[in-house]
Structure 1
Amino acid sequence: MRRRLAAAALALTIAACSAPPPEVRQAQPGEAAFVYAQNLDVVTDWDPATSYSNEIIALQNIYETLTVWNPVTKKAGPRLATAWNASSDGKTWTFTLRPGVTFHSGRPLDAAAVKAAVERTMKTGAGASYIWDAVESIQAPGPLTVTFQLKYAAPLDLTASAAYAAYIYDTAAVDQVKDGKTDAGSGPYTIASWRKGEENELTLKAFAGYWGGWDRPHYRTVKYRVVPDPRRRWELLQAGEVSFVNRLSPRLYDRATRTPGVRTASMPSLQTAMLLFNTAEGPLRDVRLRKAVQKAVDYRGLIKAMDGAAVPASGIVPEGLPGHQRGRTPRQDLAMSAQLLQRAGYGPGGRPLKLTLTYAEGDADQATLARRLTETLRTLNVTLDARPMPWIAQWDRGKKRDQDIFVMYWWPDYADGYSWFGNVFRSGTPPVFNLTYLKDPVADSMIDMLPVLNVTDRPAAQKSFRQLTGRLLDVRAVAAFPWVVNYQRAYLGAVAGYDDNPAYPDVVFVYDLRPSA
């Protein structure tokens, strides 16, 4: 979303120590700020309508949506809307808004503001704005009542909880947000400072007029630090200089569970690792070579090396979402890989083949993938030039089609499998996240029907998901899916109330936390 977006994993490989682990220094009452350390630049786009990348970890604390996905009930719950209902045909949705909410600008967040924000997001046609494609018109019949008329039935309560493009913002202020000096949100935090390219990139401060109030203990300051070196991230956590690290290697996670002053959390995610093959230019235009790379990946070896930090992927969509396909776990087959290479004139006894691969700097799991694939392909007379890059640089390069294999993570805009197909694999010019550059009208037409079928005919939707998965992975061979991430977090013991919500990858809803002694 994306490395992420996409967000990249914060993984480390540090040898275990025989000596007892040092106790973490805790901030004293009154000095505590919540400090989030990650390996990638935080902000790529400040506009809440078009934002579609790593800044989700900050924007979900600045902006709010009508509803929020509840991972326990697996349904949408209240946020800016306190209640909603749908007509029997699923084409008319009415939301009742929370009273007394103001934007950081001081203007009221009312029905007219909701209407204006969603209409502006739809008009941009950028990022994840497609989530509102079903909307035909929006009315504000009362100051706290918003009615959406749809062109076709759609689960708008779920749409309104999306991690991207569902933000409600002040359209009178949003044109001033591009430099990161101000924002147009209504959330608990507002921008204090942004220093693009610096380690201490972003600082947020409490919005005094937040509707939830500040009477209970809360973090009043939130900081985001960019620390590409995984070893240093762990050291900063141990020193009490950062509060939260969103991913640890298995070895370090085990160490963290035994470190006084550190809390840990592990849970399955909806985040998949992907190798996207350049189908438009270079040697991987040949589908035989794409299939050869698919077969060369050591899927089982990677899962074993990650030791609990990942589970095998099956198909494109992870388990737990519409679109998941059981029984499609990939397997390495080096004999078939060699045959495919030889049919294309490469491989053992043929011409040498050179490929380039880019992946996220500071992501030890992706680095392991790159190293293992490099070693495997070398035995097949294939040289892989694997390059770690900062996300923005990698993404910019990808949009220029300047690599053969693009490694990144993906997760859904809202809890549904359509996101992978509509964003990663549907034709698009210029490319955004469709970094296979695939142009397949047959696949496109099937993808375009998924949102309707998901509401009107679930069996037909599941059939389409199955057919699309086979077409993309088996026939066109545009990608490989080596694993689904298991989140392994570490954070200071003074941080209380942390819960992971997989529908909002790597987001910490800081307002919900309680700083403690």
Structure 2
Amino acid sequence: MNRRHFLQTAALAALASATSSRWNLAMAEGSGSIFTLAYPTSFPDLDPATSFSNDGAVLANVYEGLTRYIPATETAEAKIEPLLATSWDVSEDGKTWTFHLRDGVKFHDGSPLTSEAVKGSIERTKKIGGGAAFIWGSVTSIETPDPLTVVFALSDPQPIDLIASAGFAAWIYAPSSHDKDNAWFNGGNDAGTGPFHISRYEPGQRAVLDRAEDYWGKVPEGGFQTVSFEIIEDTTLAQNMIESGQADWTYSIPFENLEAMKANPDLRVVVNPSFETLFGLYNVKRAPLDKVKVRQALSLAFPYDDVISAGTMGLGTRAKGVVPAGIWGHDAEAPIPQTDLKAAAALLAEEGVEPGLELVMTYSTTQALSAVAGELWKANLETLGIKLTLQPMAWEAQWQLGKSNPEAAQDIFVMFWWPTFVTPYDYLVSLFHSEEKPNFNLGYYSNAEVDAKIDEAAKLSGTDRPRAEKLFIEAQRKVIEDAAAVFMVDRPNVHIIRSDIKGYDDNPAYGHVTFVNELSR
């Protein structure tokens, strides 16, 4: 037994003991079963106002928004369903939205859901201005004519019913928490209306949720009483956990392992289209990546088809730029590059880039597909005299490095993106709109023409979607022309779940979120 295998086995045994202890304690107290997720990344921020990363998986079980997005199926169109709001109306000019709240809902502190609570939540989120607070940018005022009515006044027409379904920055939380700071929430405290509350939080290790008392919604017969998010960055360990029954759900397992897992009667491999694109942002602030033709050359050297074949076992599809298929504003005819090493060499020579160039690509340690993409790209770049160093990092460390001084940061930042809410605006404003301080525009790209198209399209989204879509596509094509990023692959959602779990349904609008309240064993 080598040292790595020994350490994995020891870690698995320790985790098994911990999981077993929680299970026994729960059963002894008569509180029912535990649903365990082997989650591949940590949760950087549990503040519902500023959360904008993988922490959405936890918050979606603790907090709720006014609405929820339900994607289209083969037999039904996409829709927005009521959640904390039961109904809503919009004025003829699209600038006034009135939401009617669900009566009888309580926050975890026992206080009632009211219009003032909704107003205070969104105003706190807007005031802090972090994470995805930009989704409320068109809201000029919020009125509360009675305890169960909220009226939004907008500067320009926007689909507030869709915005209110966002997986980030749309959470409603108790008034008692509106004056709390970020540290309070990240200390394991919460103030939601959701089916679970946070009972234990150990940063970098786990988040444990328990069933909330007096939850307003329906709970399935045999519904889970405890949810345990175990942060397992080692994919081998995560696979061991799901196969042994010590976890009920996981993802980010290497694609080459899926066939064997499909053959396991104790497991269900759920494969669905996603709204998720893998891409690498070029650091346009660092030479020679500050030259468009150098970035174009690197994109021409990327092995797109090989990554789909080897990295996703053929399940992925070619990325057509920023916005994936299934979301309006997707550009099916985008002028994307094809792998062409001769053309890449010619562009490098034209810019005077000689053999010996060294570049660093960062990616999350939990993303097996990113590693495969990097290795295949590295091999192609070697033929051009370029050395690509692959630097896997814990997600939070990678993100913090990217947000540091661009001159000291990585050359290529590789990550996945899924929507805050289902709109092309989210992808473009988050990743390619100019930023004074980097957040997710981690290639530091800035183009006034692109900014103007994104901003104008956003204003038209609620009244003239065809025109808005045209502008979004024009912005995307400029991003592709400028080679601000290499768009590697649109990957499917692949989640592994124990076969005895009932009620599971993947929703690609909420990246890798499991709504545990809908499940039972």
TM-score (norm 2): 0.90
Q: Equivalent residue of 2:451, what SS?
A: helix
CA shift for structure 1 position 356: 0.6
Contact 2:298 2:344 in 1 (8 A): yes
> 1: distance between equivalents of 2:198 and 2:467?
46
Q: Distance in 2 between matches of 1:90 and 1:372?
A: 49
> Is the counterpart of residue 495 in structure 1 residue 501 in structure 2?
yes
Cα drift, residue 180 of structure 1: 2.7
Query: Would you say 1:437 and 2:441 are equivalent positions?
Result: no
Q: Distance in 2 between matches of 1:124 and 1:95?
A: 24
Task: Judge conservation of contact 1:345–1:351 (CA < 8 Å) in 2.
Answer: no
Q: CA deviation at 1:184?
A: 1.3
- Give the counterpart letter for 1:134 in structure 2: S
Residue 36 (structure 1) aligned with residue 37 (structure 2): yes
- 1:337 and 2:344 aligned: yes
Cα deviation, residue 316, structure 1: 1.5
Report deviation, 1:461.
1.5
Residue 90 of structure 1 pairs with residue 60 of structure 2 = no
In structure 2, the residue matched to 1:356 is 360
Superposition deviation, residue 456 in structure 1: 2.1
Mapped pair 1:148 → 2:149 = no
Q: Give the Å deviation of 1:91.
A: 1.2
**Distance of aligned partners of 1:116 and 1:301 in 2 relative to their CA distance in 1, 3 Å threshold:** same
| Greater length-normalized contact order (CA 8 Å, ≥ 6 residues apart) | 1
Deviations along 1:208-239, one digit per CA (max 9) or x if unpaired, are 12112557321111011121221211111111
Q: State the match for 1:391 in structure 2.
A: 395
Partner residue in 2 for 1:403: 410
Structure 2 CA distance, aligned partners of 1:294 and 1:179?
39
Distance in 2 separating the partners of 1:109 and 1:338: 62
1-structure distance, mates of 2:218, 2:449: 52
Task: Measure how far apart 1:465 and its partner are.
Answer: 1.8
**SS of residue in 2 equivalent to 1:154:** coil
* Structure 1 CA distance for aligned equivalents of residues 474 and 486 of structure 2: 17
Q: Report the residue type matching 1:246 in the other structure.
A: Y
Deviation at 1:240, TM superposition (A): 0.7
Contact map agreement 1:299 1:330 (CA 8 A) in 2: no
Q: 2:15 maps to what in 1?
A: none
Bigger drift between 423-432 and 487-496 goes to: 487-496
Q: How much has 1:83 moved relative to structure 2?
A: 0.7
Write the distance in 2 (CA, Å) between the matches of 1:284 and 1:511: 47
Write the distance in 1 (CA, Å) between the matches of 2:464 and 2:498. 47
Q: Does 1:166 align with 2:142?
A: no
Q: Counterpart amino acid of 1:237?
A: I
Shift of 1:249: 3.1
Q: Does 1:237 align with 2:242?
A: yes
Residue of structure 2 aligned with 1:381, choices 359, 380, 385: 385
Letter in 2 for 1:190: H
1:190: which partner in 2? 197
Aligned with residue 306 of structure 2, among 279, 301, 308: 301
Separation in structure 2 between the aligned mates of residue 352 and residue 343 of structure 1, nearest angstrom? 16
AA matched with 1:255: A
**Where do 5+ consecutive residues of structure 2 fail to align?**
1-19
- Correspondence 1:101 to 2:105: yes
Residue 458 of structure 1 aligns with which residue? 465
Identify which of 244, 253, 278 aligns with 1:248. Answer: 253
Quick one: distance in 1 between partners of 2:400 and 2:505? 33
1:282, 1:404 within 8 Å by CA — same for their partners in 2? no
Q: CA RMSD, aligned part only?
A: 1.7
Which residue pairs with 1:217 in the alignment? Answer: 222
In structure 2, the residue matched to 1:514 is 520
Q: Note closer, same or farther for the CA distance 1:327–1:459 as it changes in structure 2 (3 Å cut).
A: same
Residue identity matched to 2:476: T
- Which structure 1 segments of 5+ residues have no match? 1-24
TM-score (normalised: structure 1): 0.90
Secondary structure, aligned partner of 1:167: coil
Q: Secondary structure at the match of 1:465?
A: helix
| Structure 2 residue 210 is the aligned partner of structure 1 residue 205 | yes
CA contact (8 A) 1:247 1:487 kept: no
The equivalent of 1:15 in structure 2 is none
The aligned amino acid for 1:206 is R
Corresponding residue to 2:132 among 128, 135, 145: 128
Tell me the amino acid that sits aligned with residue 78 of structure 1. Answer: P
1:389-426 deviations in Å (ceiling 9; x for gaps): 00000001111221100000111111111111111001
Cα distance per residue 1:460-489 (max 9 Å; x no partner): 222212221121111x21101111111121
CA contact (8 A) 2:345 2:384 kept: yes
Q: CA deviation at 1:74?
A: 1.1
C-alpha contact (below 8 Å) 1:253/1:490 kept by paired residues: no
Equivalent AA in structure 1 for residue 319 of structure 2 = A
- Between the aligned residues of both structures, percent identity stands at 37
* 2:483 pairs with one of 477, 484, 494: 477
Q: Which runs of 4+ in 1 moved over 6 A?
A: none
What is the SS of the residue equivalent to 1:340? Answer: helix
The residue aligned with 2:50 is 50
Task: Please give the secondary structure, in 2, of the residue aligned with 1:61.
Answer: helix
2:64 maps to 64
Task: State how far apart, in whole Å, the 2-side matches of 1:83 and 1:202 are.
Answer: 33
Deviations 1:83-126 (A, max 9, x none): 11111111111111111111111111111111111111111221
Q: Which amino acid aligns with 2:36?
A: V
Structure 1 Cα separation of the partners of residues 446 and 256 of structure 2: 42
Contact 1:159/1:414 (<8 A) preserved: yes
What SS does structure 2 have at the residue aligned with 1:428? coil
CA distance in 1, matches of 2:278, 2:188: 34
The 8 Å contact of residues 245 and 489 in structure 1, kept in 2 or not, is answered as yes
Q: What SS class does the counterpart of residue 237 from structure 1 fall into?
A: helix
Asked if structure 1 preserves the Cα contact closer than 8 Å seen for 2:301 and 2:339, the reply is: yes
Q: Is this contact kept in 2: 1:65–1:167, CA < 8 A?
A: yes
Distance in 1 between residues matched to 2:513 and 2:84, nearest whole Å: 18
Contact 1:94–1:147 (CA under 8 A) maintained in structure 2 = yes
Matches within 5 A, 1:104-119: 104-119=108-123
Cα 1:215–1:270 change in 2 (3 A) is closer
Query: Hey, what's the Cα distance between the residues in 1 that align with 2:69 and 2:507?
Result: 8
1:65 to partner: Cα distance = 0.2
Q: Which moved more, 1:429-438 or 1:313-322?
A: 313-322
Question: Displacement of 1:319 after TM fit?
Answer: 1.1
Partner letter of residue 205 of structure 1? D
Asked whether 1:314 is paired with 2:320, we answer yes
CA contact (8 A) 1:45 1:51 kept: yes
Query: Distance in 2 between the 1:251 and 1:423 partners?
Result: 32
Distance apart, 1:138 and its partner CA: 0.9
- Residue of 216, 219, 232 corresponding to 1:227: 232
